[in-house]
Chains A and B, each alone.
Chain A
Amino acid sequence: MPPSPVLPKLVGQRVKRREDPRLIQGRATYVDDVKIAGMLHIAFKRSDVAHGRIRSLDTTAAEAMEGVEAVFTGAQVAEFLAPMPIGTPFPSPVHRAVAVDAVRYVGEPVAVVVANDRYVARDALDAIKVDYETLPAVVDTELAMTGKPTVIHPDFPNNLAVPLVPSGTGVSADGKVDDTAIDRAFANAEVVISQRMMNHRLVPNSIEARGVVAHYEPARGSMTIWSSTQNPHILRTMIAAMNGLGQDQVRAIAPEVGGGFGSKVNIYGEEYVAAAIAKRLGVAVKWIEDRTEAFLATTHGRDVIGYVELAAKRDGTVLGLRIRLIADVGAYNMLLTAAIPTLTMLMASATYDIPAIRTTLTEVFTNKTPTDAYRGAGRPEASYFVERAMDMLATELKMDPADVRRKNFIAPTKFPFQTQVGAVYDSGDYEKALDAALRAAGWNDLKAERDAARAEGRLVGLGLAMYVEICGFGPSSSVPTGGWEHAQVTVERDGRISATTGASPHGQGNETTFAQMLADQFGVPIDHITIHHGDTGIVKQGIGTFGSRSQAVGGTTLYMAGAKVKTKMARFASEMLEAAVADLIFENGTIAVKGAPASAKTFADVAAFAYVPVPLPEGMEPGLSEEAFFEPTNNTYPFGCHISMLEIDRETGEPKLLKLVAVDDAGNLINPLIVEGQIHGGLAQGIGQAMIEEAVYDDSGQLVTGSFMDYALPRAIDFPRFELHSTVTPTPVNPLGAKGVGEAGTLGSTPCIVSAAVDALSEFGVTHIDMMLRPEKLWRIIHGVHK
């Protein structure tokens, strides 16, 4: 008998996403598809003023409406629900899920209606009468820091959520600050770049907005909560704690989740309120966010000002860097709000060996929607500030932007490398990525093309940016919830494989990448494997999906659990085959003795023995199911280089992206097709921030861009064909060598596009332009028309 062909290895292959058929055919189950008998619907009355005291709130007309079961004011909710928990160590103002006396942003809940129908619940909101004493709205971040026009939280003078945290050279662990080294760097500088930069506010805009179904069963004393969340295990922990239940009594389910981009890491007031009302009334309740609420009440991202100063020699050597960060965190601290800007500090060294760095961070409350994680979460801000400054240095010194960067890279021999701001980069070869990008883009040809276009009077510019980011969170010292992941792998009685992961993919494609790994590990076809996730009733433990951690941490954990089962399976097989474990090979869904293919036992054969072991081999337990926890020793630090070419219409100021080349190094890739998809998404959102998206508040604290009529999202027509390339520098912190890639696209794209725009407008003497690149803003530069 000829040997059957060995299944091709799947890791590293462009396997199409197994998730997609059900998603694109509309056959997936989202929260709003969950229906429980007798389920009630809740709706939130929200503040339409940015800052005010609630003079009166009259719910009587709403309560009298047919179909309305209950209406709760903030004060009533406070009787059965504690203030919202915070996941960071920073002092935070009391934050009620439903406001009690005062409102502090447009969209803040002031009352909640429970009705037998979603339409009735919505109608009842209009019957609730609220009278506000309007207070001055705190909108301008830097003005807010002086306590003007007013103070939002009495215990936080001058609206300072975090007054000032220093880090970097000369800052000791106990907070003592020694300025000698950083002052010397600037004293010795031959050139100093100094620029205020704005990294503006964005609305995350997942396709599926938030939603929750909470079902309390009094007879069982248990709660099941479905939510559109990125981390059901954290949700379970919080819901249990807030409802006086044990974690064994709460089951949290993230069904299909239509995107999150970080905004569904936070556990929201609506989730706590739904659970608390379900428990109080002993029923199931559903809340589904509408798009207006998604704009106003789901956390926003970014909104950080950076005062950036770069000290250098005239040969381009960087001597020192100062960044003073001012983060506008909106009205309250959410779960991770206060921690996000600290990641900007941690990445201030970027890809450079900078001998002296000082960063400081101030966080400011304003009457805006609270901020929290958004794709990149603090790291794109860092790459933007540093890369723009490096570009300004190149311009000042008339150096090629590639050369000034090359001059300052951390040498590949220096890894692991501890930066002056405390990050320990695991591995890197930045020059390799730069060279790959220059080669792929045809950098010198592009420059010639740009110059030829300029000779015709066209406004064409080139931009180049490096980035390095933190992914694969991380050791528990860097994640308040724990920085590990959990997995269980089971060879079922029929020989098929079930696996659970604590990662909670919501668009990342882990059902495919994880199955690819297991298929190779066991030598079985991928369609013999099912990956389960997003249900604490099935997945015993977990942390969730954020910070580009699922593959690096979750994938590794799964691999380790798989290895344990494989070892056990081999022992059963060795008994059956009367051969040494070392002589067995797993391939084509069988286990055989090396050199004796006829001996092959199928997985079903071995499982049949493992689950009915007669006789049970000595020292063994029946069954084929093993679990693993894994915590990496460090985060991973993927990196890359992005290059763009952009043209600005001289008459209208409209920018058009002509070319985008991205070289990304995410370590070993499990599935290059999925990696490209992740990079495309990140690029779209990075380009979106640079050119298309902006959350704008007016002076009264109203979100002017509160719908898709005014908040632009990037569309396919806004992009050239992305040219993607990669280098591979594996990480030593996990056995897969995978680093993470979900957020990478947002890091390189923003600075490289803004730098291209500045280059395109260089004839007008501009050295920096704040995002986003509104046509009118560029038109004013071109035509010298000032406001």
Chain B
Amino acid sequence: MIPTPFDYDRATTLGEAVAKLAAANGGAKLIAGGHSLVPLMKLRLAEPKVLVDIGRVPELSGIREANGRIEIGAGTVHHDVAVSALLQRECPVVTDAAASIGDAQVRNRGTLGGSLAHADPSADYPAAMLAVDAEIDITGPRGWRTVKAAGFFRDLFTVDLAADEILVGVRFNPVRTSAYCKLFQRASHFAIVGVAAALEMSNGRVQAARIGLTGAGPTAVRLTRVEQALVGQPASKDAFAEATKDAEAELPVVNSDIHASGDYRRAMIAVFARRALEGALARA
């Protein structure tokens, strides 16, 4: 690990982190688990002048339920999300996604906020955040703001977060009938295709569905046509198969690489959308 020279500065409070980040005038990067940033620094694809360590900022950590909503601090590591009894019971799509990230070492270090802010096009969390329609809380020198996950992911590795802002956490209404399924890229364990599904059902019929897809394009997206096709349909395998069979059709372009061509990815979107819906239904 031979990065370019950098200074290291640890923040102990959120306010201090904002101040340190602002003081660096765009030359700083936040580091918590370091599992996206450090590999880039090692390859010298990222050369920050300062690392502001927010790994020990207490306000950023933890999983809470308040007024029926769940909040997860940005500094919460994947392992803590994956094993959260609250999330497993109330919103398993999020624990599914967390448990499928990387390997045990990665899950013990990498954080929710780091993954969302980095916005790898194959990352697992973005699909789950879209499926639960999460709100993302952000703070910075200009104060606090909240954005919807649906508007947060702008482009490849690009999110609605300024260089001097900090992603503080996410909030969402939990959905018990939810699941995340993915086709693993064998080397990185990122998603070749990953689909998160959250269903609201009544009398055996789908009232509303939100489906987040990762791995297929430059950012995670909602499969809105499939969502619409499901509304009012019976919550059944046949209906899911019918609604997802052309799931890929609403995507203008999909990624293609040595692990999966565009053709194959397109075919897998339908498969994993259906599997995610079936997984959600199994939890009804």
**Chain A residues at the B interface, C-beta cutoff of 8 Å:** 118-119, 122-123, 126, 290, 292, 651-652, 654, 692, 696, 704-705, 707-713, 715, 774-776, 779-780, 783, 785, 787
Q: Name the A residues within 8 Å of B185 (CB-CB).
A: 712
**Cα-based distance from A290 to B2 in the complex (angstroms):** 9
B188 at the interface (CB under 8 A from A): yes
**Cα-based distance from A709 to B258 in the complex (angstroms):** 12
Q: Which of B1-55 contact A (CB under 8 A)?
A: 1-2, 4-5, 39, 43-44
With A118-B2, A119-B5, A779-B264 as known contacts, state yes or no: A708 contacts B271, CB within 8 Å.
no
Q: Is the CB of B261 within 8 A of A787?
A: yes
Q: Which of B257-284 contact A (CB under 8 A)?
A: 258-261, 263-264, 267-268, 271
B69 at the interface (CB under 8 A from A): no
Interface of A is mostly: loop
**Cα-based distance from A54 to B1 in the complex (angstroms):** 28
CB distance from A49 to the nearest CB of B (A): 18
Residues 124-152 of chain B: 1 if any A CB is under 8 Å from the residue's CB, otherwise 0?
Answer: 00000000000000000000000000000
With A705-B258, A785-B263 as known contacts, state yes or no: A692 contacts B2, CB within 8 Å.
no
**Cα-based distance from A311 to B282 in the complex (angstroms):** 55
CB distance from B248 to the nearest CB of A (A): 14
With A704-B258, A708-B188, A787-B261 as known contacts, state yes or no: A652 contacts B183, CB within 8 Å.
yes
Closest to A290 in B: B2
With A704-B258, A776-B264 as known contacts, state yes or no: A119 contacts B187, CB within 8 Å.
no
B155 at the interface (CB under 8 A from A): no
**Cα-based distance from A119 to B188 in the complex (angstroms):** 27
Q: Is the CB of A710 within 8 A of B258?
A: yes
Q: Name the B residues within 8 Å of A708 (CB-CB).
A: 187-188
Q: Name the A residues within 8 Å of B39 (CB-CB).
A: 709
Which of B2, B183, B187 is in CB contact (< 8 Å) with A775?
B183
**Cα-based distance from A692 to B187 in the complex (angstroms):** 8
CB distance from B76 to the nearest CB of A (A): 24
Q: Name the A residues within 8 Å of B5 (CB-CB).
A: 119, 123
Which of B43, B183, B188, B263 is in CB contact (< 8 Å) with A710?
B188
CB distance from B40 to the nearest CB of A (A): 11
Q: Name the B residues within 8 Å of A780 (CB-CB).
A: 264
CB distance from B107 to the nearest CB of A (A): 14
**Cα-based distance from A715 to B260 in the complex (angstroms):** 20
Interface of B is mostly: loop
Q: Name the B residues within 8 Å of A774 (CB-CB).
A: 259
Q: Name the B residues within 8 Å of A787 (CB-CB).
A: 261, 263
**Cα-based distance from A213 to B260 in the complex (angstroms):** 42
Q: Name the A residues within 8 Å of B188 (CB-CB).
A: 708-710
**Chain B residues at the A interface, C-beta cutoff of 8 Å:** 1-2, 4-5, 39, 43-44, 103, 183, 185-188, 258-261, 263-264, 267-268, 271
**Cα-based distance from A118 to B1 in the complex (angstroms):** 10
With a 10 A CB-CB cut-off, give which of B44, B103, B186, B188 has the most chain A CB atoms: B186
Closest to A715 in B: B103
With A122-B2, A123-B4, A710-B188 as known contacts, state yes or no: A776 contacts B183, CB within 8 Å.
no
Question: What are 8 contact pairs spanning A and B, CB under 8 A?
Answer: A123-B4, A715-B103, A775-B264, A776-B259, A783-B267, A785-B263, A787-B261, A787-B263
Closest 7 CB pairs of A and B: A712-B187, A712-B186, A122-B2, A776-B264, A709-B188, A651-B271, A710-B187
**Cα-based distance from A785 to B266 in the complex (angstroms):** 13
Q: Name the A residues within 8 Å of B183 (CB-CB).
A: 652, 654, 775
**Cα-based distance from A371 to B180 in the complex (angstroms):** 42
CB distance from A56 to the nearest CB of B (A): 23
Q: Name the A residues within 8 Å of B1 (CB-CB).
A: 290
**Cα-based distance from A504 to B188 in the complex (angstroms):** 33
Q: Is the CB of B260 within 8 A of A776?
A: yes
With A652-B268, A710-B258, A715-B103 as known contacts, state yes or no: A119 contacts B2, CB within 8 Å.
yes
With A122-B2, A292-B43, A783-B267 as known contacts, state yes or no: A692 contacts B261, CB within 8 Å.
no
Q: Is the CB of B258 within 8 A of A696?
A: yes
**Cα-based distance from A785 to B183 in the complex (angstroms):** 19
**Cα-based distance from A785 to B260 in the complex (angstroms):** 13
**Cα-based distance from A122 to B103 in the complex (angstroms):** 30
Closest to B275 in A: A651
Q: Name the A residues within 8 Å of B268 (CB-CB).
A: 652
CB distance from A73 to the nearest CB of B (A): 22
With A118-B2, A652-B271, A715-B103 as known contacts, state yes or no: A710 contacts B261, CB within 8 Å.
no
**Cα-based distance from A170 to B264 in the complex (angstroms):** 49
Q: Is the CB of B2 within 8 A of A710?
A: no
Which of A118, A712, A776 is in CB contact (< 8 Å) with B261?
A776
CB distance from B156 to the nearest CB of A (A): 16
Q: Name the B residues within 8 Å of A704 (CB-CB).
A: 258
Q: Name the B residues within 8 Å of A715 (CB-CB).
A: 103
**Cα-based distance from A775 to B258 in the complex (angstroms):** 12
Closest to A718 in B: B186
Q: Name the A residues within 8 Å of B103 (CB-CB).
A: 715
Q: Name the B residues within 8 Å of A126 (CB-CB).
A: 44
Q: Is the CB of B267 within 8 A of A711?
A: no
CB distance from B273 to the nearest CB of A (A): 12
Query: Given A118-B2, A774-B259, A783-B267, 17 other A-B contacts at CB below 8 A?
Result: A119-B5, A122-B2, A292-B43, A651-B271, A654-B183, A704-B258, A707-B43, A709-B187, A710-B188, A710-B258, A712-B186, A712-B187, A713-B187, A776-B264, A780-B264, A785-B263, A787-B261
Q: Is the CB of A711 within 8 A of B187?
A: yes
**Cα-based distance from A654 to B39 in the complex (angstroms):** 28
Q: Name the B residues within 8 Å of A785 (CB-CB).
A: 263, 267
Q: Name the B residues within 8 Å of A651 (CB-CB).
A: 271
With a 10 A CB-CB cut-off, give which of A651, A696, A713, A783 has the most chain B CB atoms: A651
**Cα-based distance from A50 to B44 in the complex (angstroms):** 21
Q: Name the A residues within 8 Å of B2 (CB-CB).
A: 118-119, 122, 290
CB distance from B64 to the nearest CB of A (A): 32
Closest to A713 in B: B187
**Cα-based distance from A699 to B268 in the complex (angstroms):** 27
Closest to A709 in B: B188
**Cα-based distance from A709 to B5 in the complex (angstroms):** 24
